Structure 1
Amino acid sequence: MSIVETVPEPQATGLAGEIYAADIQTIGYVPSHTKVLVLNPEACGAWRALQSAIAGSLGMRRYELVTLAAARGLCSAACLLAHGKKTLKFMAEADLIRLARDHHAADLSAAEVAMMDFAYKLSTNAVSMDDGDSQSLRDVGFSDREIVDIALAAAARNYFSKALQALAVDVDVPPGLSQPLQDALLAPLGAETPAGRELHAG
């Protein structure tokens, strides 16, 4: 649990109040990460604008798949659960469970597998990346703009997830996320990771 003092929903005003209201309108509640990060409402708003700019260019399905791969590499329980819920807009739960367990065995297109591999590597071993990694995206048909968008989506998830982990933000389970899907999404984490310990303890 983060030690920072958050603003209760009824007391949120100005830009912070607008951000709270946007969450309530879109997902029905204000998640823990919003309550912490909105302490700098300008940065929180800029983050959302960045997300929108990247996802609007890349496409929402691709954006969510890249985000899930990056979040898995980061062992980010909060982002895996939140974006698992969002990905249900683009695939059936059974398909998402298979993807969460192994995206190479989830009947994705070659392009989708390649971009998830790229995002995972960026989140686990970015220092080793070279032109060959970008070439792997070009080889499956991505344009230069799309290659940049994939890198931006994965790198942006690193920024956001690491901020949540650094601040020990509570991990929310989005309403309506089934237990089998939760288990599949969190399978890579394990109780030995900080995020896994927090979730298993809660």
Structure 2
Amino acid sequence: MIITPPSAETAKGHVADMYAEDIEDDGFVFAHTQAMALNPDAHLAFEQLVRAVVPSIGLSVYEAATLGAAQAIGSTHCLLAHGRKALRAGVIDEDGLLAFAHGDDRRFSEAEQVVIRYARRLSTDAAEMSDADTQQLRDAGFSDRQIVDITLAAGARNLFSRSLLALAVPVDEVPGLAPALAEALTAS
């Protein structure tokens, strides 16, 4: 990574909070946290966006949108981090996440599968999306607010993931994932 993030010793304010959270959770500061620490206001805004969309769609739908988008654009950072978050939150079990890493999303609920497909399309072909794509979310039972929030969740993941990819931020090993699962998500 060519950029130089703030050191842990000089970190203040939100940067210090970002670093402390990683250290508390995993014993080290992730490279992606360090990269985002260069603009703590943007990181905070991203976190606020996530907090604004999750209440209407719930954590499982948020993680489905996040994983679908991350997989579509090849974001190993986010597949590993959100794979672990989905496991810890009980959104999916290890076998289901392993299947997802191999392209099989049937262990997610039917509505979550629709969200995953929508997030993948948004991440690969947004300019060609139409009302038909949104209608699939409506047919799965999502309200107008939820459709907007699913779109924002997938779009936000594109912003964050593509930024990490563009900056060539190294991918850290994510503690708490079985080696075979981490390998499958990395190859996904």
TM range (shorter): over 0.9
Gaps of at least 5 residues in structure 1 are 189-202
1-structure distance, mates of 2:96, 2:142: 24
User: How far off is 1:134 after superposition?
Assistant: 0.2
Change over 3 Å in CA distance of 1:17–1:93 after alignment to 2: same
State whether structure 2 residue 9 is matched by structure 1 residue 19.
Answer: no
Change over 3 Å in CA distance of 1:92–1:47 after alignment to 2: same
2-structure distance, mates of 1:43, 1:108: 31
Gaps of at least 5 residues in structure 2 are none
CA deviations over 1:89-144 (Å, ceiling 9, x no partner) = 2222112111222244x233221111100000000111110000000111111111
Letter in 2 for 1:84: G
Letter in 1 for 2:73: L
TM-score by length of 1: 0.86
Structure 2 partner of 1:117: 117
2-structure distance, mates of 1:84, 1:107: 14
Alpha carbons 2:96, 2:108 under 8 Å: kept: no
Alpha carbons 1:103, 1:113 under 8 Å: kept: no
1-structure distance, mates of 2:183, 2:93: 16
Moved more, 149-158 or 171-180: 171-180
1-structure distance, mates of 2:41, 2:107: 40
Structure 2 partner of 1:101: 102
User: How far off is 1:24 after superposition?
Assistant: 2.9
User: How far off is 1:186 after superposition?
Assistant: 2.6
Structure 2 partner of 1:69: 68
Moved more, 17-26 or 5-14: 17-26
Structure 1 partner of 2:151: 151
Alpha carbons 1:19, 1:45 under 8 Å: kept: no
User: How far off is 1:158 after superposition?
Assistant: 0.6
2-structure distance, mates of 1:56, 1:25: 25
User: How far off is 1:29 after superposition?
Assistant: 3.2
2-structure distance, mates of 1:117, 1:88: 20
**Number of equivalent positions:** 186
User: How far off is 1:26 after superposition?
Assistant: 4.3
User: How far off is 1:28 after superposition?
Assistant: 4.3
Q: How many percent of aligned residue pairs carry the same amino acid?
A: 45
Alpha carbons 2:61, 2:112 under 8 Å: kept: yes
Structure 2 partner of 1:196: none
SS of the aligned residue for 1:9 comes to: coil
